[in-house]
Amino acid sequence: MNRVKRIASFITLGMLALSLAPTGVQAQQAARSETVTVQVDVRTPVGTQITGTIVAQRTCSDSGTTLTDLSFTGMVNGKPASASATGTETWSGNSAAEFNLGSVTAWNIPLTKPTTLKLNIVQTGPGLISVNGVPVAIDGDLMAPCSGKTLYTVTNAGQSTGQIVLLPKTGVGSIWANPLFIVTLLVVPGTLMILLSGLVRKAGERRVTASDSATR
Amino acid sequence: MLYLWASRLLLIAGSLLIIAGTIYGGTISYMMWRESVSPSTSQVLILKDGTRIPFIQPTRPAEQAGGTLASRTQPTSPRNGPSTLNNPETTAPGDNPGRAPSHEGNTGEGITSPSSAYLPPLRLTIASIDVDLPVVLSNSKHMPQFKGVGWLMGSSYPGNAGNLVLFGHLDGPYATFSRLRELAPGDEFSVTTESADLRYQVTRLFDTLRDDVAVLSPTSGATATLITCSGQWDPVLGDYSHRLIVVAVLEPKQ
C-alpha cells in the first residue's frame, strides 16, 4: 500500500514538475520572474484521480538554473488537496529538462509526502512529453522558462479529445426518489418480518408443547 | 552445463528486453500519433444538433479582448438558444419571454480587466446567498466531494477574456448552490485569486436542459457562468432534468 501511495505521490509531483520543464532555448535570460499556471487532470495507474491547478513562480537567471516555488490546489479523488514546494530546474540541449525537488513546505494531500525527487522530462512529440519514461499529454510544446508561455494543460496521454455533451451533474436528488432506496425500504423490512414470523411460529409451537406436557 | 544454462538465461533475458522495448516503443508511437490527430488535452462542446465548438478560451486578458478575439472564438455555427422552462422569475427584465435567453449580448466585450495574470480562482463569495466557498479545478468526471465549487477545466481564468464556468451542487451533503435561484440580475459576487478580488455582476438567470452545453461556449469578453441543477429529479437517469444558469459579466473599474 505504501508503495502504491509512493508511486501516486511521485506522479503528483511529476505533474507539478511539468510546469518547470523547458525546451529548446538555452538559458540566455537575465534574472527575471514569471508565473506559470498548469491545469492538471490525470489518473494514475493505481486509479488515483488528480485534478487541480499548479502555480509556479519562476525566477530565471543567466546561470541556467531556474528556481521555482510551486503550489498545487485541487482535488485527489474528489477531496480537497493542496501542497507547496520549492525546486530547481536545469536543462541542456533541446526539449530536455531535469527537475530537482528541494523541499516540500506544505503537504495536504492524502498521499505519501516525498522528501526528494528528481525528474527527467523530455518532449517526445507534438503534445506529448515523457516524465521519467511515462508518456503525458500536454497542450502544444514546452517552452523554456521566461520565454513567454505561461499556460499549460496536462492530462493522460492517448485518450483523445474530450467531448462535453452534458452540463455538470450537480444534484443527488431526494433519497425518496431513489429506486434502490425504495427497494431497500420494502425488501429489508419484508425479510425481517418473514424471519420474525418464523420465530413467532416456533415460539408458539414451544408454548403449545410446554402446555401439552403440563397437561399430561 | 553451466554454460548451457547461462546461454539460455541470456537468450530469455534478451528476448524479454526486446519484447519490452517493442511494447514501450509501440505505445509511445501510438500516443504520438494519437496526440497529433486528437490531442488529449483538448475538449470540444457537442451541441444537440451535432455542432462541435472547441472549448478554447481566448488567451489574452479582457482588456485586450477586442474584435479580433471575438471573431477567433466565435463558434462555427450559431449557438442554439437554450431550451428553457420559461420561468419568468428567473428571466432578466427586458428579456423576450418567447425567446430563449442565451449568452448573446452578454459577452462582456470591452470591459477592462483588472488582472492580466492567469491565476486560478481560489474562492467564490456570493454574500446575498451566504456562499463563501473554496473553488477547485474540476470536470464532469471528477466533481468536488466536499463543500466546494467546481471550476470547469478548460473554462476561462478569472478576470480574463472568456467564459469562467463555476458549478456547485444543489442538494446532498455537498450542497453549495442550493440558494442560487435567489440571485437576481444586478446582484454581485466575487471570485478571489491569489492576487485579486474580481467582482462580477449577474445579468440573467434561466433554466435550460441538462444537455444544453452551448451555455459553456467561450465568450470574447470576460464573463462568468454559474451552474447548478434544477427541474425534476429523474430516478432512471439519476440526474435532474434541467440546470439553472446564472450569467454574469466582469465589472469594470475595479
> Which of A16, A109, A167, A182 is the mutation pick for testing B, counting most B CBs within 10 A?
A167
Q: Which amino acid is at A80?
A: P
Partner A, chain B 187-216, Cβ-Cβ below 8 Å: 194, 208, 210-213, 215-216
pLDDT (tens digit, 9 = 90+) per residue, A16-64? 555 444 444 444 444 578 899 999 999 988 899 999 999 999 888 777 7
CA-nearest residue to A82 within chain B is B136
Residues of chain B with C-beta less than 8 angstroms from the C-beta of A75: 136-138, 142, 144-145
Residue B148 above 90 pLDDT? yes
Q: Higher pLDDT residue, B62 or B8?
A: B8
- The reply to whether residue A41 touches residue B139, judged by beta carbons under 8 angstroms, is yes
Residues of chain B with C-beta less than 8 angstroms from the C-beta of A109: none
Q: Which residue has the cell 454574500?
A: B127
Question: Are A39 and A59 a contacting pair, CB within 8 Å?
Answer: no
Residues of chain B with C-beta less than 8 angstroms from the C-beta of A139: 39, 41-42
Region of residue B105 (left: phi > 0; alpha: psi -120 to 50; beta: else): left
- The reply to whether residue B45 touches residue A164, judged by beta carbons under 8 angstroms, is yes
Model confidence at A193, in pLDDT bands (50, 70, 90)? very high
Which has the closest alpha carbon to A13: A103, A144, A78?
A103
**CA–CA dist A160, A15 (Å, integer):** 19
pLDDT at B98 (0 to 100) = 33
Work out the average pLDDT over A187-214.
88
Q: Higher pLDDT residue, B191 or B57?
A: B191
CB atoms near residue A93 (< 10 Å): 10
Q: Higher pLDDT residue, B200 or A117?
A: B200
Residue A148 above 90 pLDDT? no
Partner A, chain B 157-176, Cβ-Cβ below 8 Å: 157, 167-173
Work out the average pLDDT over B167-179.
94
Residue B15's φ and ψ, nearest 5 degrees, are -65, -45
Instruction: Please indicate, yes or no, whether the overall pTM of this predicted structure exceeds 0.80.
Output: no
Partner A, chain B 25-84, Cβ-Cβ below 8 Å: 27-28, 30-32, 34-36, 38-46, 55, 59
Write the residue in B138, B148, B235 that is nearest to A179 by C-beta. Answer: B235
3-state secondary structure chain A: CHHHHHHHHHHHHHHHHHCCCCCCCCCCCCCEEEEEEEEEEEECCCCCEEEEEEEEEEEECCCCEEEEEEEEEEEECCEEEEEEEEEEEEECCCCEEEEEEEEEEEEECCCCCCCCEEEEEEEEECCEEEECCEEEEECCCCCCCCCCCCEEEEEECCCCCEEECCCCCCCCCCHHHCHHHHHHHHHHHHHHHHHHHHHHHHHHHHHHHHHHHHHC
Distances in Å between the alpha carbon of A173 and those of B179, B180, B222?
15, 16, 33
Residue A12 above 80 pLDDT? no
Question: Are B87 and B184 a contacting pair, CB within 8 Å?
Answer: no
- The reply to whether residue B210 touches residue A161, judged by beta carbons under 8 angstroms, is no
Residue B76 above 80 pLDDT? no
- The reply to whether residue A80 touches residue B31, judged by beta carbons under 8 angstroms, is no
Residue B135 is inside which H or E element, if any?
strand B131-138
pLDDT at A181 (0 to 100) = 75
Q: What is the mean pLDDT of chain A?
A: 81
pLDDT at A78 (0 to 100) = 94
Write the residue in B41, B138, B215 that is nearest to A155 by C-beta. Answer: B41
pLDDT at A102 (0 to 100) = 84
- The reply to whether residue B138 touches residue A75, judged by beta carbons under 8 angstroms, is yes
pLDDT at A11 (0 to 100) = 54
Write the residue in A52, A138, A154 that is nearest to B136 by C-beta. Answer: A52
Q: Does B116 touch chain A (CB under 8 A)?
A: no
Most confident listed range (B3-17, B92-106, B156-170): B156-170
Q: What is the mean pLDDT of chain B?
A: 80
pLDDT (tens digit, 9 = 90+) per residue, A160-185? 899 999 999 988 776 666 667 778 88
pLDDT at A172 (0 to 100) = 79
Residues of chain B with C-beta less than 8 angstroms from the C-beta of A74: 136-137
Tell me the residue length of chain A: 216
Model confidence at A14, in pLDDT bands (50, 70, 90)? low
Work out the average pLDDT over B72-92.
38
Provide the sign of the torsion angle of the four alpha carbons B214, B217, B222, B227, taken in this order. Answer: positive
Residue A196 above 70 pLDDT? yes
Compute the nearest-CA separation of A171 from chain B (Å). Answer: 5
Residue B188: strand pairing partners? B201
pLDDT (tens digit, 9 = 90+) per residue, A63-82? 778 888 999 999 999 999 99
Residue B86 above 50 pLDDT? no
